[in-house]
Amino acid sequence: MNVQTAKVHHFPEEIVHYAWEKDPKPVLTIESGDTVIFKTREVTDNQFSIDSTTESIASLDWDKVYPLAGPVAIEGAEPGDTLEVEIVNLETGSWGWTAILPGLGLLPEEFPDAYLRTFDLTDGEFIHFREDIKIPIEPFLGTMGVSPKDASGQPIMPPGTFGGNMDVRQLTIGTKLYLPVQVAGALFSCGDAHAAQGDGEVCVSALECPMTATLKFNLIKGKTIPSPQFLTSGELTPKVNHKGFFGTTGVGPDLMKASQDALRAMVDHISTTYEMEPKDAYLLSSLCVDLKISEIVDAGQYIVSAVLPLAVFED
């Protein structure tokens, strides 16, 4: 009997792409059950470094933002199948950054000016936001997806039913991501790695960083799902659950406005309680505050909560 042995592949570091296509030529073709090791670039494609300053934002070439490693074809994958991506391991690079980018984020009018901060990640466990504030490193890939069925030069941002720039921070080590195959071969790509992020990525950047990702692929024939699904291996926030949380809310008939109101209140709470510039409180919120839909069924008055883990603050 011929038993196929699963293989480990190394995706070539020098190859990236900056848009989604429906029928790109695969760089690598693998079998179901194989594992691929990717070394992804940070989201500006090395336009920033640990020494970059706020002035570096003005010179960004946006055509080189969102470099993705891929595509990888899976033998036998066809539209209507499901691709399981098991996140075996994630290792952050030595540095990362977060920023306010003018015109973007949840509060662009309140924070119209560019602002960039870089961080040393060699600690391996924490991002040292301030001497008394440590954010746990919980790495994940902000972008994982298969090729969309009708794409032609489609921007990496925003996401879609094919996956893509989802920024779901629960897609960390041990999680299994399920993607609906839309084209022959599935044609998987990934990138946009983060060392930490709150649910919502409210200032439009997480802790962006280079990363080495080990992913195992399994093809589920004949199973069709409408959009990405995932299965975690444990708690959603295991590194901050040992202390309490502080929440602010936004209330009203518009979920976007309620989200903004909850975040405004959180930025004000952080800046006044912890003696921090509002722009730094905004960045901190993007890295560790979770937005949650707390209520959506009560006569069109929705509640969005912004939840801050107190574990990031030193006693």
The one-digit pLDDT tens for each residue of the chain (315 residues) are: 445 689 999 999 999 999 999 989 999 999 999 999 999 999 999 999 999 999 999 999 999 999 999 999 999 999 999 999 999 999 999 999 999 999 999 999 999 999 999 999 999 999 999 999 999 999 999 999 999 999 999 999 999 999 999 999 999 999 999 999 999 999 999 999 999 999 999 999 999 999 999 999 999 999 999 999 999 999 999 999 999 999 999 999 999 999 999 999 999 999 999 999 999 999 999 999 999 999 999 989 999 999 999 999 997
**pLDDT of the residue at 252:** 97
- Paired strand residues for 307: 247, 290
Question: In this structure, how many other beta carbons lie within 10 angstroms of the beta carbon of residue 254?
Answer: 13
pTM for the model stands at: 0.95
Class of residue 218 by CB neighbours under 10 A (exposed 0-12, middle 13-18, buried 19+): middle
d(CA 198, CA 86): 22
Domains along the sequence of the chain with CATH: 8-231 (2.60.120.580), 245-312 (3.10.28.20)
**pLDDT of the residue at 4:** 67
**pLDDT of the residue at 175:** 98
d(CA 105, CA 201): 8
**CA nearest 277: which of 266, 267, 290, 291?**
267
The DSSP symbol for 264 reads H
**pLDDT of the residue at 122:** 96
- Tell me the two tokens of residue 24: 């790109």
**Cβ–Cβ under 8 Å, residues 74 and 31:** yes
**pLDDT of the residue at 299:** 86
Q: How far is CA 132 from CA 129, 273, 274, 276, 312, in A?
A: 8, 13, 10, 12, 8
- Tell me the two tokens of residue 278: 């509002």
**CA nearest 94: which of 44, 132, 133, 51?**
51
**Cβ–Cβ under 8 Å, residues 208 and 162:** no
Q: How far is CA 266 from CA 40, 129, 220, 254, 284, in A?
A: 33, 17, 43, 18, 10
**pLDDT of the residue at 7:** 97
